Structure 1
C-alpha cells in the first residue's frame, strides 16, 4: 500500500488533481457498456486458463464455477489492497471445496504466472514490431523478459533438490507445459491481454485523444504489464504511474496518461461488479444453508 500511495502522491504533486477529476468526468455510459462486454470475454478466457492449469494438477474446476469465482476474485482484486487478495480467496475457497488446499493454491499461482508470462512476451513483441517513437521503452521491457527467462532457465537447470524444487518442475511440466494445456493457456492469455488493452483504448478514446492504434497498443500493453505489480491500493498506483511515464515518453504528456489511467480504472472496476453479485449471493447462501 505504501508503494501505491507514494506513486499517487508524486503524481498529484507533479501534475495536480485535474487529470484525476477529468478521468472521473469523462467516463460515459457507452464506454462502461463496452468495457463490461469485453471483460465478460476476458473473464471467460481467464477462467478457462485456470481450469486447464487446475486440471493438470488434479484439482478440477467446472467452467461455470470457474467463471463465477474469477469474477469474484477480480472484484476483490479491484477493491482490496495489493491486487492479489481476490486470487488468494479464489484459491483458498477452491481448496476447501476439493479438499486439497496446497494444489489449489499452486493452481492459481501457476495460472496467474503463466498469464503474466504470455503478456510480457506479447508486450515485448509489440514493442519490437510496431513502429513508434518511444524506443526507450524497448530496452526496459527486453531486460525484464530476458531476466525472467534466465531465472526460469536457472531454476529448471538446477532442478533444485528440495521437495519444493521437485514440485516446481513437476507442476511446470504437468500443468503449464503439458500438450493438453499450453496451447489453450497461450490462446486464453493472448485474448485476455488484448481484451484488457481494448478497454484501455476505449479509455483513451473517452478522453478525446486522437492517437493512432499503432501508438496506443504498445502503450496499453506497457501500462497493463506495470499494473500487475502487486504494490497498489485497490488497483491504483503503479498503473497511473506507468501511464503518466509512458504517455510522457512519446510526447503526449503525463496529465493525459494519468487521465486515461483513471478512466481505465473506473471502467475496470465497473466491469467487475458481477463479482460483487457473486460474493453477495455466496454469502447469503452460506447464511441460509
Structure 2
C-alpha cells in the first residue's frame, strides 16, 4: 500500500469516527442501551437471513448482466463472488469498496479484467438506479415534512446528483468519434455501451429491472424489523421514506463502509418523521452490525467454496492483475479487444 493510499484510508477512518463521535455526544446512549432486549436479538437473526437472501438476488442480477454481455457464469460461483464483495465492503472506503475484490476474483474465474470491471459497474448502475427511484418517490413527502428548507434542498441535490451521474454514463455512448477513440475515453465509452447492451436485451432487462429494487426493499425491511424490536410505532412505509436517502448518503466515498454518514442521515430522517434520535442511532448501528456479520459469513463461505481461498487473496495483495501501472483503467483482455465486448 502506498503512502497516499494509507493516508486516504486514515482520513476516511477519521471521518467515520468523527461523525460517530458527534452523533454519540448528541444522543442519549442510556436510552439506546435500554432498548436492547431479546426482541432485538430475534430481529438480528431475521436480518441475517434477509441479507443472505439479498446476496442471492445480487448474484442473479450480475449473472443477467454477464449474460447480456455474452458471458455465462454458474450461479454458485457468482454467489460466492458477491459474498466476497460483502466481506471486502466492511474494510474498504464507501459501501462499494468490495468490488475491487470481486473484479480480482472474477479474473481468477476466467473473466477478462475489462469485462469483469464493466459488468460489475453496470450491475451497480442498475442497483443505484433502484435506490435513486426509491429516494425520488419519497422525496416530495420528506420535503413536505422537513421544517428546514436546507434539508429538502440537500435531499433534492442527492437525488439529482445521482441521477445526473447515471445520465452522463449512459450518454457517453454518443460521444463524437474523435473523443470516443481517445485512450482516456475508450473504457468509459465501452462501459456506456455495455450498459445499453443490458438495457436493450429484451430477455434480461425485465428481471434486471425487477432485481434492482430487491436489495433496497430488503434493507428497508431489516431496519423496519429492528425498529419494531426497539418498540417503535413505525410502519414499513415510514422506514421506506427515510432509509433509502441514508443509504444514498452512505455511498459518498468519504468514510469507511458508510459508517457515520449513514447514522447521521438516519438520525435526521427519523427526526423528520417524528421518531426519536436514539432509536435512529440504534437502528443504524444494528443494521451496520448485521452487514458486518453478513460480510464475515460471506468471507467464510467464499473461502470454503474456493480451492485456494484466502491464500490466493494474501498472495495477490488485493490487486487486480491486469490493472495498468500508471493508475489508469484496466486494460482489456485480448478477446475483448477482438470482439469489442
Q: For this structure pair, what is the TM-score category when the shorter chain's length is used for normalisation? A: 0.7 to 0.9
Verify the 8 A CA contact 1:224 1:239 in the aligned structure 2: yes
Q: Distance in 2 between matches of 1:8 and 1:194?
A: 26
* In 2, Cα distance between equivalents of 1:287 and 1:77: 16
User: What is the match of residue 249 of structure 1?
Assistant: 272
Is the Cα–Cα contact under 8 Å of residues 23 and 260 in structure 1 kept in the other structure?
no
Aligned-pair CA distance for 1:93: 0.9
Helix, strand or coil: the match of 2:90?
A: helix
Post-superposition Cα deviations, 1:59-107, rounded to whole Å, max 9, x if no partner, equal: 4322121112212211221344433332210111112322401110111
Distance in 1 (CA, whole Å) between partners of 2:143 and 2:161 is 24
Q: 1:236 to 1:4 in 2, by over 3 A?
A: same
Give the structure, 1 or 2, with the largest relative contact order (CA under 8 Å, sep 6 or more). 1
Structure 1: 5+ residue runs without aligned partners? none
Asked if 1:143 corresponds to 2:166, the answer is: no
Residues 42-53 of structure 1 aligned to structure 2 (within 5 Å): 42-53=54-65
Please report the RMSD computed on the Cα atoms of aligned residues, expressed in angstroms: 3.1
Aligned to 2:228: 205
In the other structure, the counterpart of 1:5 is 17
Please state how far the C-alpha of 1:200 moved relative to its aligned partner: 0.8
2:102 aligned partner: 90
Task: Quote the Cα distance in structure 2 between the aligned partners of 1:236 and 1:196.
Answer: 16
- Please give the per-residue CA displacement for 1:266-285, whole angstroms capped at 9, x wherever unaligned: 22333344303224325664
Give the Å deviation of 1:26. Answer: 7.0
Map 1:104-253 onto structure 2 (within 5 A). 104-128=116-140, 133-134=145-146, 139-154=153-168, 156=171, 159=175, 161-162=179-180, 163-253=186-276
Paired position in structure 2 for 1:263: 286
The aligned counterpart of 1:40 is 52
In structure 2, the partner of 1:29 is 41
Equivalent pair of 1:27/1:267 in contact (CA under 8 Å):
no
1:193 Cα offset (Å): 1.1
Q: Which moved more, 1:45-54 or 1:57-66?
A: 57-66
What TM-score results when the alignment is normalised by the length of structure 1? 0.85
Name the counterpart of 2:318. none
**For 1:52 and 1:187, how far apart are their aligned partners in 2?**
12
Structure with greater proportional helix content:
1
